[in-house]
Amino acid sequence: MLSTTPRTALNRSKGRGRTDRSELHAILDAGLICHLGVVVDGSPMVVPTGYGRIGDTLYLHGSTGATSLRAAGEVCVTVTHLDGIVLARSAFHHSVNYRSAMIYGTARAVQDADERLAALRAITEQLAPGQWDTVRRPVAKEMAATAVLAISLSEASVKVRQGPPVDDDEDYALPVWAGVLPLQVSWGTPEPDPALAPGIPVPAHIAERGRVVRLRDGTAGKY
């Protein structure tokens, strides 16, 4: 179960809150990009970045010179999936169907070599499952230029909205179309690097990914 803290307690739309930790994991595992919120010199900064999860720890990485990573202390990380536009009979009740997770915590700079490598593997596999086993591993110089942050998932909240619009009773009789415009995300055909040597085929894990569409419930289906 997710623990409730003053920062994660929902003040509005409490019915959309979820408390099962497995739902937090599912939202994170279905995502590709998170948004990292930090305070730099007294001003907020929100940076989109890749991430990976191992158990109840979220890992982020970037250049050791990145201001957002060097300034990271108390942070807020969000991941959101937009599943559809909810079109109501009134402008006021328009909404979106979504799944979102918000994580608060103190970012920890990862120094242990084994944990750093495991974190980079998790981040790579989050974006392209199967890729880590096909590419060259980072060398010492590259590892030295890479900052890795770890954030505990102990303080997190999850909100989900699904379903049709909810209009005022008197508006249901209006001659206005209402419903949901679903959104699905699919991969395109893999595009080879122009500098790719002749005869190197698209690896199976990439070709298979290209036949997958992300469905509204977060699961994957083939087309």
Rounded mean pLDDT, 134-156: 96
What DSSP element (H or E) covers 62?
A: strand 57-63
Pairing state between β 95-106 and 179-182: unpaired
Rounded mean pLDDT, 105-129: 96
**For residue 114, what are the contacts with CB-CB under 8 A and spacing of at least 6?**
none
Q: What is the CATH number of the domain that holds 60?
A: 2.30.110.10
Percent of the chain whose pLDDT exceeds 90:
75
Six-digit token string for 94: 């328009």
| Predicted pLDDT of residue 213 | 56
| Predicted pLDDT of residue 208 | 87
Identify whether residues 166 and 195 lie together within a single domain.
no
Identify whether residues 72 and 148 lie together within a single domain.
yes
- Per-residue pLDDT tens for 37-61? 999 988 999 999 999 999 999 999 9
Identify whether residues 124 and 208 lie together within a single domain.
no
Identify whether residues 175 and 207 lie together within a single domain.
no
Total tally of structural domains belonging to the chain: 2
| Predicted pLDDT of residue 13 | 80
Identify whether residues 118 and 165 lie together within a single domain.
yes
- Whether 58 is covered by a domain: the verdict is yes
| Cβ neighbourhood burial of 163 (10 Å; 0-12, 13-18, 19+) | exposed
- Whether 81 is covered by a domain: the verdict is yes
End-to-end Cα, the chain, rounded Å: 35
- Whether 8 is covered by a domain: the verdict is no
CA 130/CA 110 separation, integer angstroms = 24
Six-digit token string for 163: 């379903």
What 3-state class would DSSP assign to 47? strand
Could you give the angle at the alpha carbon of 24 between the alpha carbons of 71 and 159, nearest 5°? 95
Six-digit token string for 187: 């991969």
Whether pLDDT at 218 is above 90? no
Residue of 105 and 73 predicted with greater confidence: 105
CA 15/CA 162 separation, integer angstroms = 11
Identify whether residues 214 and 176 lie together within a single domain.
no
Structural domain including 43 reads 14-183
CA 48/CA 80 separation, integer angstroms = 12
Is this structure's pTM higher than 0.85?
Answer: yes
Identify whether residues 118 and 134 lie together within a single domain.
yes
Whether pLDDT at 214 is above 90? no
Q: What are phi and psi of 141, to 5 degrees?
A: -65, -40
- Whether 197 is covered by a domain: the verdict is yes
Identify whether residues 45 and 26 lie together within a single domain.
yes
Number of H helices, E strands in the chain: 5, 14
| CB atoms near residue 145 (< 10 Å) | 12
The helix, strand and coil proportions of the chain, stated in percent and rounded to the nearest 5, come to 20, 35, 40
Predicted confidence band of residue 118 (pLDDT cuts 50, 70, 90):
very high
- Whether 9 is covered by a domain: the verdict is no
Sign of CA dihedral 174, 177, 182, 188: negative
Identify whether residues 157 and 189 lie together within a single domain.
no
Identify whether residues 155 and 175 lie together within a single domain.
yes
